[in-house]
Chains A and B, each alone.
Chain A
Amino acid sequence: MEGSSPTRRRRKAVAEEENQIASSTDIPKETDIVPSKRPRNNDPALARRAISLLRSRLCGHSQPLLLPEAQENERKIFELLSETIRNASNNSILLLGPRGCGKSLVLNKVMVEIQHEYPERLSVIRLSGLLHTDDYSALREIAKQLCVEHQLVFSKAASFDDNSQFLTTMLRECALSHKSVVFILDDFDLFAQMSKQKLLYNLLNIMQSREAQALVIGVSCRLDADQLLEKRVRSRFSHRKILFNPPSADDLQKLLPQLLSLPVDSSTIDTNYAEAFNASIQDMFKSKDVKNILLSITKVDLSPRHMLNFLFLVVCAMDWKYGFLSLSNFKQACVALRRQTKLESMRDASVLELYLLVSMKRLEGKERETYNFITVFKEYKSLHDSHSTCDLYPQEVCQRAFENLLDRQLIMIADGRRSSIGIEFCPVKLLVSSYEIEEGLKSSPVCPAILLQWFAHEEFK
């Protein structure tokens, strides 16, 4: 989205921004809290092992820790699955909740436990609404997964009719062999948006007959996913829903020290180091600054995934030589997570581009709803005519700058597509607000003072 800025300018910009954010938000500008009593760690290898352990935990590779509400949901799903397998019944359920609240995580955990408890009684088919965009490919994928699981030969050339016949037959055979088939549909709302909802109807319809033993689990982030179903499909769907709420900020904060503490009796991590690390973590989370940082993070997004992303960045920023986490790590992660992309774009823009932006703003101020490059150029020229400056460039150069702005998505073409009449005649719209332009102008190192004046003068606050 932004232009190609060189790395050196990037680093300088980041440093500047850090100061700016530190000044504008409530992160205090203090130095690191390093109590002198903690020993210095001289061995970077220990730190590296610790970092890799923490990173794998935060990415979700190892056994996840769950919040109490998520554990409750996990128990419910587990009971439903056991009931389906033991009593050979058919069920369908939807898992709903905002993104990042643990639906897939809990579901995967439950599947592992169930496979452990009832070996050979379960056959799992996974589909995704993003990958399988229509009924035919979804059904083919179901056939393929069934064939792979039961070690049958799969043919890619089978038609929709063949595959649906195969599905019915396989479900019947599995029911006779006391095997339950679990269909996990990720992004369930996308399946419901397919035309005629054939796949959903067929799956739920098969479950109405005695010959099948199946469970359909839909996972969706849309809370109204079951309203998307057609009436026929809705009638066949048992309206069981499990809600995954975002946790409260307190619950989340209680979980954090556990996430970052190292195991004391592990073989790969030195015990002394682990204990020292855990102690530093405890101190860290008690300090006011870190609490403020965490508060600013949770104000934006309460989902656990966001918090895990944040902690991941913190851990990645840890200095090996030092060996422990410090406040600067937290600040760095905070900055990396909350980037102001439009401000950065404007800061990197050239003078001409800034002129064009200001001209567009003035046009908007004059109640001109639609404008294209020609009118913008006219406004730009009139600016220079009234106050002669050295910044007047010919139309071709301005057009080039205009196209640059389009690429950076600071402006966009109004009806969304480039028609054949030429870029200078297409109506455009400005995507940055006046407040943002002002901020951008102020922070830009190349902005001429006169431009700021024009902008401020014409703006009626």
Chain B
Amino acid sequence: MEASGVHAGACLPQALPASASPKKRSWGSDALAGESVPDVTPSPLKTCRRSPRTPDIAHPPRLRPRKLGFDDVPDNSTIQELQEKAEQGQLSPGAAQKGTEKTPKKLPLPKKKELNARTSNLSNKNGIRTLNPVKTPRKTFLDYVVVDRIKFQTGDDVYIRRTEEDVDEEAEGCLVCGKSGKLVECDNCSRGVHLKCTDPPLKKVPKGEWLCSLCVAVAKSQSGKSRVNVPNDTLKTARELLLASKLWAARIERIWREADGMLWFQGRWYVIPEETAVGRQPHNLRRELFRTNHLDNNEVASILRKCNVMGPTEFRNSGRDGDDVFLCEYAYDPQFETFKRISDDDENGQASSDEPEDSQTEIEEDHESDSDSHDDNKRSSQKLLGSSKKSSPPTRAANVRGGHLSKVGAKVIPATARRKPATAFERAKAALRLTATPESLPCREREMGEISAFVTDAVVAGNGTLGHCLYISGVPGTGKTATVMEVMQKLKKSYEEKNLQPYRFVEINGLRLTYPEHLYTVLHEALTGHHVGWKKALQLLDERFSNPKPSRRVDARPCILFIDELDLLVTRNQSVLYNVFDWPTRPHSWLFVIGIANTIDLPERLLPRIASRMGLQRVSFSPYSHEQLQRIISTRLEAIDAFESQAVEFASRKVAAVSGDARRALELCRRAVEIAEARCANDPKPGSGKSKGCRVKAKSNDKGNLAGMKDVEEAIKEMFQAPHIKIMGRCTKLAKIFLVSMVYEQHKSGMMETTFEKVAAIFTYLCQNNNESPVDWDTLLSIGCSLGACRLILCEAGCRHRIQKLQLNFPTDDVSFALKEDPEVPWIGKYL
């Protein structure tokens, strides 16, 4: 019983020699086997025992498990079935034993055990195990596994039991004399005492519970209380154990059953803040974990039970239901000791792309079906196991396709990242950012309905009764791309709720393509996953879309192609556009195109054959009026009290008069909020909107707290004003006279353009008449050129000397306005 119990317990992550800080555990020699780790031993336990604290330096070659495909049948076998198989002699007896006695509550770790017995057990085990998981060909992958009526599936977060060696490491020596040896473990605090050192000295390990003297004393002092309420250094709940680093948590990535019937899983470890390189920061929550990219294989038997690890939004709304709820917002890389926030789309899916750098050392025996050429490169440049101790194997450049970017990360999570915006101004700024698009765009309901109808019809009906191409036009800043994205988000949601068939969405931006024909490559890659040159891609796409019967194609999902900045694709013979709009019209092509451009009559400017295909269905986005802009801004600023209502109206009227661009309006308001914030910060008035506490007092000083008309005016001045008048007023005296001579010349000759010679002649004339000292022409030329560099005037290159052509860049009225009453040259007025 004990042997098998130890055997069960020995499937846990491997023990390591104790060291003072948990962070610095390293591979060192293994006390058990005396073998150094990188040797590949046939014992599977050796290869699979790994703790989450070590960087995964020496990864023995193991078969990379295949991703779950559609062909894998989930195996519902429970441990009871295993036992049956064992009885049939197919499995090792250890597995059967493990199956029957394993429950989550009863820890099979024997409390009273002999440490030295471990070695012998293992050598026994070496005899039992005959198969090497590396070589086993029959591995079946499972979706979930049921252990004692608890279902564990991929994506679950679980507690993992550590080995008893780890647990005892911290209390290695006897309590009384400090030496190691045969120790008896206390039930409460798991500290060990020699048999001889107990009080009274025992001859053999007692049956039943045994408490060390300290716990006995504590229990006695708390007479009347039950044993459960023992002081804090005993940790009872799993959460406390985890946070005290006595238990570990992992996330199941894959589950499989070996050929010998053992159930294994691959888990991604979580670490607590104490185990990171920087330790626990003041802003780390009590229940915070970090996800690592450290994967390990372990047996399913080492799982304790499930826990819940959530992202920040879920954690906030969880209400602490259950004790086993943890927050995981960041991913920690133990090799580079960096933190990275987990992005929202990563939270739900598998973060499978951040394998550690050393995973390159594995020789991939099976790779994915659509292997690209870069896989070959990867394999040919891999290092073999054993030479992988170098810290940064430079195999792949970062900026080519499929490059590695795992080094990027923050050394410490900054405290400001955790802070929520406190004051109204900060919340207003956060809400007015261009990136904070709301869930549904106001004032665009009609357009959204049309686009939504087109897209839904494309996906559902399949043959596109509403047409195959949609052309969207409008000036920049009117919400075209945002609306299309919103429609696609809604579609995705309804697909996830299983209301819709599968579809494909490809997004292309005309300005991100290197050249227009590159579109073929991108489209082909999105449809099939193969990266080929554009000519080949064109040929393949043509074949694909002309083929009336979908015989060879894997899926006949309707594909929605979204092209932004369509006018960039116009080439001389317009072939790219023709192809793009011709393919959807072919039967059974299952392609639907949405194109966005700025000009409303783009189809008319193209060849008629394209215009007829493209221009059938159009949606036009008109510039926003001032009411719409006001509504947009107010929607964003809902429940945030930072603006006077007149100020918002003023801003929207100003922007609507100029362009009707929503981005401009939002930027203007954000700038106004910043100006108001700076003004309030410098304001000596008490209670000027700094803390929530003095809100009552602040109501009396209402005007100071909000962004008002003055702030908006200043922001408008900054953003809309042309700077040339100010610069003209501030340039040198000679430059001013130069400008005035140009104005004079323009009035005299009636032509805008003049030559340097004429201007210089008038300059000299002006100077002579007004007692200014004359200037040589070289200096004058340099003055003219410096004015031209600022684009106050337009001039040719200075090497043309007297035949250099000059022209004023601004109307003469501007020059008059700037220079009329200049104190430096008071006589200028009469020449303007």
Q: Footprint of B on A, CB under 8 Å? A: 25-26, 79, 83, 86-90, 96-99, 120-121, 143, 146-147, 150-155, 157-166, 169-170, 172-174, 176-179, 196, 198, 201-202, 205, 207-211, 221-224, 231-232, 234-236, 238-241, 243, 245-246, 248, 298-302, 338-343, 409, 412, 429-433, 435-436
Contact = CB atoms under 8 A, between A and B. Distances in A.
A235 to B, nearest CB: 4
Nearest to A225: B791
Contacts of B757: 433
Interface centre among B339, B782, B801 (most CB of A within 10 A): B801
A159 B802 contact: no
A209 B410 CA distance: 21
B777 interface: yes
B661 interface: yes
Contacts of B456: none
Given A26-B773, A224-B791, A340-B776, A179 B518 contact: no
B394 interface: yes
A79 B671 CA distance: 12
B414 interface: yes
Contacts of A431: 800-803
22 contacts: A79-B678, A86-B416, A87-B429, A87-B430, A120-B412, A152-B397, A152-B398, A152-B405, A153-B403, A162-B401, A173-B340, A173-B408, A211-B343, A238-B671, A243-B723, A243-B727, A246-B731, A299-B733, A300-B732, A301-B786, A341-B778, A432-B801
A158 B779 contact: no
A159 B401 CA distance: 10
Given A412-B800, A436-B777, A176 B598 contact: no
B341 A235 contact: no
Interface of B: 338-343, 394, 396-401, 403-405, 407-414, 416-417, 421, 426, 429-430, 433-436, 475-477, 509, 511-514, 518, 565, 568, 598, 659, 661, 663-664, 667, 671, 674, 678, 718-720, 722-724, 726-727, 730-734, 757, 760, 773, 776-779, 782-783, 786, 789-792, 799-803, 809
B139 to A, nearest CB: 33
B476 A232 contact: yes
A346 to B, nearest CB: 12
Nearest to B518: A161
Given A196-B511, A302-B731, A150 B435 contact: no
B400 A302 contact: no
Nearest to B436: A210
A177 B480 CA distance: 31
Given A83-B674, A223-B792, A433-B777, A153 B398 contact: yes
A300 B732 CA distance: 6
B343 A87 contact: no
Given A177-B341, A412-B800, 9 more contacts: A87-B430, A90-B435, A154-B397, A208-B435, A223-B792, A248-B730, A300-B732, A338-B779, A342-B778
Nearest to A433: B802
Contacts of A146: 399
Given A152-B398, A239-B719, A299 B802 contact: no
B511 A201 contact: yes
B514 A158 contact: no
B475 A177 contact: no
B663 A236 contact: yes
Contacts of A240: 667, 671, 718-719
B426 A87 contact: yes
A178 B664 contact: no
Contacts of B777: 342, 433, 435-436
Contact of B512 (A86, A143, A164): A164
A222 B732 contact: no
Contacts of B518: 161
Given A98-B789, A150-B407, A223-B792, A160 B802 contact: no
The 6 A-B pairs of least Cβ separation, nearest first, read A155-B397, A235-B476, A152-B398, A166-B399, A177-B410, A431-B801
Nearest to B343: A176
Q: Which of B429, B434, B598, B720 has the most CB of A within 10 A?
A: B434
A243 B728 CA distance: 13
A179 B410 contact: yes
A162 B400 contact: yes
Nearest to B395: A153
Contacts of B782: 300-301
Contacts of A96: 723
A53 B46 CA distance: 67
Contacts of A163: 399
Contacts of A154: 397-399
Contact of A223 (B340, B724, B760): B724
A26 B77 CA distance: 105
Contacts of B789: 98-99, 221-222
A107 to B, nearest CB: 18
B414 A121 contact: yes
A224 B773 CA distance: 33
A238 B341 CA distance: 27
Contacts of B663: 235-236, 238
Contact of A245 (B565, B664, B727): B727
Nearest to B531: A161
B511 A153 contact: no
A173 B409 CA distance: 7
A239 B718 CA distance: 8
B408 A153 contact: no
Nearest to B432: A89
Contacts of A238: 663, 667, 671
A431 B756 CA distance: 11
B829 to A, nearest CB: 20
A302 B729 CA distance: 12
A239 B405 contact: no
Contact of A176 (B340, B674, B719): B340
A339 B778 contact: yes
B400 A245 contact: no
B514 A245 contact: no
